[in-house]
Chain A
């Protein structure tokens, strides 16, 4: 069998193996009740039944793929290029999230160091998280980085114009989600 024909076979067998692992290892170890539960002579469906049905779908799907569709020459395959693409996207998103999470608190720390309050009490980001401009710092910086980074990923270069679009888009989202609504929290202000 030519190498290119084995994509579905490998995928099907991998899914079937994963389904068996879920069925025989994960569900028994990580669900309190079995398929059927008997409590005080009352029989009811246990917590393991529904996930077992899901694993059954996976098992049948994997076997079907491996047995009846294994020789599909047109079957799409996962390439190293695709994996590199998604890994780079995740890296950009991770950096953007870190920037989003810590830029605001860092700005507060810097402000405390550079310009202490008149009372001498250090500012706390937690108390300022619903106060402009502090509440926007993380979102605008992280959002601009996210858009700029992904634009760079696609275009393989970053122009000032693209960076300006990223900044404007992040500011526009502040205007859409935050300015009109007092009850919505932009990232990361629900976590800090």
Chain B
């Protein structure tokens, strides 16, 4: 079968798959409904300061697997839901940023700079509309690039990279992620090293599980859910809670506790520009888009979408950097071309909201390029997609997904095109109902973090338990949570840890195969030209980042 048939089968798998319910004799397919549910949930968690897409994905995954089971039919509904959450959270993060000066997600921080001043001027609805339009445009652009690029990149990898090169590519990816995430090559390498070490405990090919200290609890290694959720989610909750404890008592603490700690002049939640509460009435004082708004913001959206997509395609570089770069580029352009009397960046310029939101949203689609074409997760959301695929089985993200068989069908390729269809469907939902739902989510910023975070912690622990059914797994998760907390305290990003933990097994397996395939050549990473180039790049990225870090000192 050719590419067109695989694409069509992918589309059919989404829209003509198993039905969830039947209304008036018409069966509603399950995957689109799950994409919708995930999308709406994503907007809600994105709009709630202290929560984020990965937390919702972590909690939902065991429930979804219980509902849909471990059959290949479960892949699209489960991953469609997670994709919906990923996209919804990206849009939702702008809501509290604009209404309350509190970013719902870290990458929405730059949105506060212009979004909140617009709210103060009574233009909350306009700012939300601009944020939504920019976000969904950037996201759609990014998805199109993903759909066009991922298959070609995978085909290139399959055509030109053999086992030694693939081993070197994994090492290069880890080095790159370690070097660029968090801005400190040393700390990134420590994080990645800890992740690899954790992945290798209790595993191996010998009868004795290595590094298990002869302890039965360690002999099966650490379950992936305990390490990933522990370091990413539980560690983040510990850190958030510490921030709440540290806040001094009084109004400031109360505001921060309510997820509105960065508010200025709006302690009661009342919009200073209009005297109304933007949480419940974002439209008061405001207005939708003004005539000419789209023409003004489109150039900013275009640039930021390209920046976000380019950054998203590189594993490990998060949407925060994309938002910062998009904002900086936009500010430079705005300074040159600003119309007379228009607000500057940082003082309520709609272009600032557009530049930030387009850039951070454009990361999400492109982040799946390394996942689908190389099997390398680039961010936390991608980690959960890999986790879902790994738990359910039948789909192993990597270059082999895009292999076109000479006869018959490649079921993984059908799933990949099904995922692309689900992403486009989520975008369609975002264009149509996303804005309306998003503008109604201001109330989520009112949830007090001091009550919310412990609930999320219990939810996370319960999600881990129902997967592992062992209190030992809970203790592993809490232990990894403490590790994640300490890493955050020391300025060490936990993302390289998680990615290294996930890639560790694959790296060792590929290296073993490469070693065997080269006849036991211990220098196989350096005797093959492309592998040697990758290794040189791995070294160079560490050295250059370390030197770049040293220079400012």
Contacts and interface: CB of A to CB of B under 8 A. Distances in A.
Interface of A: 7-8, 11-12, 15, 19, 22, 26-27, 30-33, 36, 42-45, 47-51, 53-66, 68-69, 71-72, 75-79, 81-82, 85-86, 89-90, 93, 97, 101, 139, 143, 146-151, 153-156, 162, 165-166, 169-170, 173, 176-177, 180-181, 183-188, 190-191
Nearest to A88: B245
9 contacts: A47-B210, A54-B197, A58-B189, A86-B485, A147-B457, A151-B450, A154-B241, A187-B474, A191-B471
Contacts of A61: 178, 185-193
By secondary structure, the B interface counts as helix
A160 to B, nearest CB: 13
Contacts of B461: 146, 187
By Cβ-Cβ distance, the 4 closest A-B pairs, closest first, are A190-B469, A61-B189, A57-B193, A65-B186
B244 A154 contact: yes
A51 B210 contact: yes
Contacts of B245: 85, 153-154, 156
B393 interface: no
Interface string B366-397: 00000000000000000000000000000000
A150 B241 contact: yes
B186 A12 contact: yes
A180 B471 CA distance: 22
A87 B358 CA distance: 41
B192 A177 contact: no
Given A45-B512, A86-B482, A54 B200 contact: yes
Which of A55, A149, A190 has the most chain B CB atoms closer than 10 A to its own CB?
A: A190
Contact of B471 (A54, A64, A97): A97
Interface size bracket, B side? 35 or more
Contacts of B55: none
Given A50-B200, A64-B189, A43 B242 contact: no
Given A50-B507, A51-B211, A186 B184 contact: no
A76 B515 CA distance: 41
A191 B190 contact: no
A43 to B, nearest CB: 4
A55 B193 contact: yes
B520 A43 contact: yes
A151 B451 contact: yes
Contacts of A156: 245
Interface stretch (B2-10, B98-106, B115-123, B545-553): B545-553
By secondary structure, the A interface counts as helix
Contacts of B470: 190-191
Given A65-B184, A65-B190, 20 more contacts: A30-B212, A31-B208, A47-B204, A50-B507, A50-B511, A57-B190, A60-B189, A64-B189, A68-B185, A68-B549, A69-B184, A72-B553, A150-B454, A154-B244, A169-B455, A173-B459, A177-B62, A180-B67, A183-B66, A185-B466
Contacts of B462: 139, 143, 173, 177, 186-187
Which of A19, A45, A77, A181 has the most chain B CB atoms closer than 10 A to its own CB?
A: A45
Contacts of B199: 54
Contacts of A48: 210
A170 B485 CA distance: 25
Contacts of B502: none
A91 to B, nearest CB: 11
Contact of A188 (B241, B471, B490): B471
Contacts of A53: 196, 507
Given A31-B211, A69-B186, A190-B470, A57 B454 contact: no
Contacts of A149: 454
Contact of A47 (B186, B190, B205): B205
B504 interface: yes
A103 B468 CA distance: 21
B453 interface: yes
Nearest to A178: B466
A40 B457 CA distance: 52
Given A143-B458, A187-B461, A57 B241 contact: no
A15 B190 contact: yes
Given A58-B189, A72-B553, A32 B66 contact: no
A62 to B, nearest CB: 6
B516 interface: yes
A154 B63 CA distance: 29
B160 interface: no
B437 interface: no
A31 B211 CA distance: 6
B275 interface: no
A99 to B, nearest CB: 12
B466 A47 contact: no
A78 B186 contact: no
Contact of B465 (A11, A15, A180, A186): A186
B238 interface: yes
B459 to A, nearest CB: 6
Contact of A32 (B200, B207, B550): B207
Contacts of B184: 65, 69
B508 interface: yes
Nearest to A173: B462
Interface string B52-63: 000000000011
Contacts of A79: 489
Contacts of A97: 471, 474-475
A176 B62 CA distance: 11
B47 to A, nearest CB: 20
A144 B522 CA distance: 56
A177 B63 contact: yes
B472 to A, nearest CB: 8
Nearest to A7: B490
Nearest to A144: B458
Contact of A75 (B475, B491, B507, B550): B491
Contacts of B436: none
Contacts of A45: 508, 511-512, 515
